[in-house]
Amino acid sequence: MMLLENTPIKKDTIIKTPKVYISYSWSSEDHQKGIIKLAEDLMANGVEVKLDVWDLKEGHDIYDFMESMVKDHEIDRVLVVCDKGYFEKAETRKGGVGTETQIITPEIYTKTKQDKFIPIISERAEDGSPYVPTFMKGRLYIDLSSLESYSSEFEKLLRNLFSRPIHVKPELGKPPPHLFDDDAIPTKTSKIIRNMREFSRTNPRILRSLSKEFIEEFILSLETFRIKYSKESDISYDKLVLESIDKMLPIRDDFISFVELYCNNKEELDPSLFEDFFEKLLEFTGPKKNETYTSLDFDNYRFLLWELFLYFVTIFLQHKEFSLLAKIINKDFIFKQGHKVDNGRYAIFCYSIKSINDNRGEKLIE
């Protein structure tokens, strides 16, 4: 049996050959054949196996062999094959299994790292419970008692031996800075996101109305971030823009969560909401009617627009939502700014942020 054959191996990867010892009971001839098959399968998949029928020769001391295998630091794992025979002998401390149990027990409880001893279930009781002796109870096991699951469980064993788990814990990231801003107030959009998460599990049909509520609340919240600059102010314009961008981080994160929720519940949501959203957001990149302004007054919104669009594209690519993404990219967005109506495709989202690119850059150079 060859497994892990489709797992790519990097060119410079050094693969350590794991060494295991198989502990078992000579319950029957058929059981011993099963043990030999397991050992052969492991050897065929790059695992060095120590087995009595291969390594114990005439004249060798059986008990010294067992003790050396259990205590040998070069043995990475001890596979304890649990069937009815092993269970009964281990519980009553009879025969070679009983002796080996007395050797293994203190190793488990006092000296050895947790994963050295792995129970391998080869037989179950009539009630379906595994034959796990008391000294191994509570440990996660590999279940090779069924032909139907043998292949997948054997794969699990190999992954353990080669330290190649299916589920790899990701690296620890950094907490969002705004969480530690004592002046920050929970946004209404964040409350809607929490409701959406809850209803996605309990009542997905409500998500459509909540999504509209989220878009409306998001657009309303943008009004609070308009920059009011005074020439008499001690704060430079570029600093005002950067401060505004920082203050918008919570709603930016809410939007990211919203896009993720959409991709995970798209059957319940209206895809046109993103088209409407970006059109409404575009209106903040220019002046309102009858409003005095400078060309820099909207840089915070322009920065946000492009950032949100990049997150939107990234998440949709991750979820393979190519059809809707293509629709958004090819859409001709129509929006109002002041007294005029403008239009264009997604490239118009990418504004030059002059307050940062020019003003801030000049200060840094100085």
pLDDT digit string, tens, across residues 166-225 = 888 888 888 866 567 666 567 889 999 999 998 888 888 888 889 999 999 999 999 999
Rounded to whole angstroms, how far apart are CA atoms 166 and 32? 31
The per-residue pLDDT for 120 is: 93
What whole-number distance in Å separates Cα of residue 23 and Cα of residue 120?
10
Distance CA 218, CA 225 (A): 12
What proportion of the chain, given as a percentage, has pLDDT over 90?
Answer: 32
Signed CA dihedral, 195, 201, 206, 211: sign only: positive
- Please state the separation of Cα 126 from the chain's center in Å: 39
Higher pLDDT, 267 or 120: 120
CA distances from 173 to 150, 170, 248, 252, 253 (A): 37, 9, 21, 18, 15
**What structural domains and CATH numbers belong to the chain?**
19-161 (3.40.50.10140), 177-365 (no CATH)
Residue 49 DSSP SS3: strand
132-150: average pLDDT: 88
Burial class (CB in 10 A: 0-12, 13-18, 19+), 146: exposed
Q: Percent of the chain at pLDDT above 70?
A: 81
Average pLDDT rounded to a whole number, residues 299-309:
92
Task: For 226-279, write each residue's pLDDT tens digit.
Answer: 887 666 566 677 888 899 999 999 999 999 999 999 888 877 777 788 989 999
* pLDDT interval class at 96 (50, 70, 90): low
Predicted TM-score (pTM) of the model is 0.51
Residue 152 has a pLDDT of 93
The CA distances from residue 226 to 22, 216, 223, in Å, are 71, 17, 6
